[in-house]
Each structure stands twice: as structure tokens, then as C-alpha cells.
Amino acid sequence: MEVTIGRTLLRLVQGDITQQEVEAIVNAANSELTGGGGVDGAIHRAGGPAIHEECMRIRREKGRLPAGQAVITTGGRLKARYVIHTVGPIWHGGGHGQDETLASAYRSSLELAENHGLRTVAFPSISTGAYGFPVERAARVALGAVRAFLSRPEGQALEEVRFVLFSGRDLEAYEQALRGMASPE
Ligand code: APR
């Protein structure tokens, strides 16, 4: 499924983010930037040690990465030239500003992409695995944050923002959220 927002194509696909041919893929990392399971583990495995080395350098220089913020490293052996590492919120029932932190993770990643002059970026479904965020709600927050970012008058640089959903169920949740947003309010 795809829609155009401003000049940017927003696409939802099912697949493995490590295989995407885009300039940057986004990693659902943890604040330590140490790597982990899920999409984080898959990206480090596919990209090789260069990503971990750069993450550790960032850790030494900047300390922990708070939830909602993002940093950029090489993509190592990935097809993508860069990996943008962001940290989503851990789900605690939704009442602790978790929607805003999740939106901030998407926004910070897009800002970083734009500041590096990148044109194509792929996101996984941040926080909906180990961090337990319900996927239907996360899909609304994620797509809302991306739409708001791309709708800014100055937000004209990105050609494509792609969501790469691992499961058919996740893809459906994102498609439904996108349909919900497209309908008149
Ligand atoms: N491509 C795309 N999506 C993937 C892939 C992949 N190769 N592998 C897993 N996913 C999906 C999961 O199915 C889930 O829907 O990514 C989504 C996010 O799940 P997690 O990777 O668990 O991320 P998150 O919930 O944000 O938890 C982050 O997990 O591995 C640790 O270091 C990471 O501590 C951090 C935490």
C-alpha cells in the first residue's frame, strides 16, 4: 500500500528490513546501543562489526541514548549506506507519555535523515516487539508522526519513507491505520 504526502512516497511493505535497498534503515535499538534481539540483532548480524564499533564510539562520546532520540552510523555490509539507531518507549500501559516518545523516535530519525541529505529511509515497527507496545496503537502514532513531519512546508527532501513490517498481521495493522488517516475527519 502507498500514498503520497507532499513530494514523499509513503510505502507499507512486508519483509526483512536488513534487505532493503534504501539509503538508511532505522534500527529499534536500546539506550545502551549494545545490540540485542529482534530487528536490532538482525541488523548487527547482517551489517557486521563496523556498526557495533561505531555504536560503542558514540556511547563513549555521548553516553546513553534516551528514548525518543536517534543517532546515525555506517550500514557496514548492508545494502543501506547508513543505519539510524533510535530507541522507542517500553510499553507501560500508555499513560506515561509513551505515544509522544514513540512519535519523537520517528521524528528524530527523519530529522537525522534529512540533515544527512538522504532521500530514502526504511523503518521497522519500533517498540512493538520486545518493548511490548500494542501494534495497532503504535501504527497510528508512527504514521501520524511521519505524516506530520512530511507535511511541513520545508519537508520536501525525502523521496520515500518505507515501513517494513515483519509479519502479515503487522502489515495489516499499519494498512488499517493508514486507511483511517486518509479518510475525511
Ligand atoms: N525486519 C523487519 N522487522 C523486524 C525484523 C526484521 N529483520 N526482525 C524483527 N522485526 C520486527 C518485530 O517483529 C517487531 O514487530 O520489529 C518489530 C520491533 O521489535 P523489536 O526488534 O523487539 O524492537 P522493540 O520492540 O523496539 O524492542 C527494542 O529489543 O532487541 C532489543 O536491543 C533491542 O532492547 C531493544 C529492544
Nearest protein Cα to ligand 1, atom 14:
129
Residue 164 CA: nearest ligand 1 atom is 2
What are the pLDDT tens digits along the chain (185 aa)? 999 998 899 999 999 999 999 999 999 999 999 999 999 999 999 999 999 999 999 999 999 999 999 999 999 999 999 999 999 999 999 888 999 999 999 999 999 999 999 999 999 999 999 999 999 999 999 999 999 999 988 766 899 999 999 999 999 999 999 999 865 44
Half-sphere exposure of 57 (CA within 13 A, CB side): 10
pTM for the model stands at: 0.97
Residue nearest to atom 7 of ligand 1 (CA): 16
Q: Rounded distance, CA 47 to CA 55, Å?
A: 13
> Given 3.90.470.20, 3.40.50.1970, 3.20.20.140, 3.40.220.10, which CATH number is that of 2-182?
3.40.220.10
